[in-house]
Amino acid sequence: MSVLCRSARRVEASVCDRIIADTEVLSQVSALTEALVYTLSRPAALTGRASSEEHFQQALARVCPFFEEDRTNDCAGVDGNGLQKFEENKDGDAGAVGRPWDAYERALVPPPPSLQGHVWALKVQERVLGYRVERCPSVVRGTGVRISRVKEAGRGVVPKGRVVCLYPGTLYLPQQQPILLQSLNNPFIFRCIDGLLVDGFDKGLSRILFRSCVGRDLVGPSPIADASWLTPYPLNPLSVGQYVNNQSKLYRSNVAYQEVTVFPSSMSLEKRAYIPNIWSKSSVYSPLRLVALVTTRDVDEGEELFSDYFTLVS
């Protein structure tokens, strides 16, 4: 049985300069996930209590824009290069220091998906990366993704070389892990250049399996992947890459896929909790594959994103 899937386009040598370095992709993703940890995550003992708008605004004010040329010392929270240790808990104490379960209760975990959490995450994205990316009705068909807002006043564009989306989903090695049942009526299977498959469908069996894998690989109270992309309110606003449509004669591509390997030592568990990918087989400490969508030219505010991929039979 053949599997119909999207495939990463092999970039020709003449346009290879349209793709930024892998380290730059990881830097941009890391800066956003660090800021999300700092502003949204809470100690496990406090996850049942909603964070206040006042506290969120205070935390957001301490986050430095990633592309700011002249970073000042006023941004004392997160600067994309290192998350400050939490010397005191948000909104109260999680428990007395020294108890056997203290480390468990103080582990930082994301909040449950909600409209408020998604709105806050968009504000963090705009603060850190300088723009917002959201799902929208597509100009071609169905659902698409557009640049909904650009922070920089007057210019109103996202420059070339910016990470605007991640392709979420369960990762499969096709020669070792079956994906036939998940592929039925599934238009969101992405095939990487080396054959690795990413199942980005947020319904049916694909949805059930992703949630199951996240629950299977919990480290204490901490998830190692973000399942909020399965809801209308993703806590990582980049996790909408599966909705980016293919280019057409009328609408040419403005983003390209870039596959990046993330090693466990380069990303903390707190930040992994905002990454929308997980292996179908348990491998908490194995390298993770990210598929990022990177702008190949300046993209205007309000413009829909279009990629360049082939639909293949593998």
pLDDT, tens digit, for every residue of 16-32? Answer: 444 789 999 999 999 99
267 vs 186, residue with greater confidence? 267
Q: Across the chain, what does the average pLDDT equal?
A: 80
**Residue 74 · residue 65 · CB < 8 Å:** no
**Is residue 121 predicted with pLDDT exceeding 90?**
yes
**Helix-helix angle 115-129:22-39, to 10 degrees:** 130
57-101, pLDDT tens digit by residue?
989 999 989 987 545 545 544 444 434 433 334 444 444 445 555
Distance in angstroms (rounded) separating the CA atoms of residues 54 and 204: 38
Give this prediction's pTM: 0.83
CB atoms under 10 Å from CB of 79, counted, come to 20
pLDDT digits (tens, 9 = 90+) for 122-156: 999 999 999 999 999 998 888 999 999 887 655 68
Whether 51 shows a pLDDT value over 90: the answer reads no
Tell whether the model's pLDDT for residue 194 goes beyond 90. no
Which of 7-11, 81-85, 193-197 comes out lowest in average pLDDT?
81-85
Asked if residues 314 and 193 have their Cβ atoms less than 8 Å apart, the reply is no
Q: What is residue 228's predicted lDDT score, i.e. its pLDDT?
A: 97
**pLDDT > 70: what percent of the chain?**
75
For the chain, what is the radius of gyration of the CA atoms? 19
DSSP alpha helix (H) spans, the chain: 22-39, 53-61, 102-106, 115-129, 180-183, 204-216, 269-272
Distance CA 119, CA 123 (A): 6
- Compute the distance between CA of residue 221 and CA of residue 209 in angstroms, rounded to an integer: 19
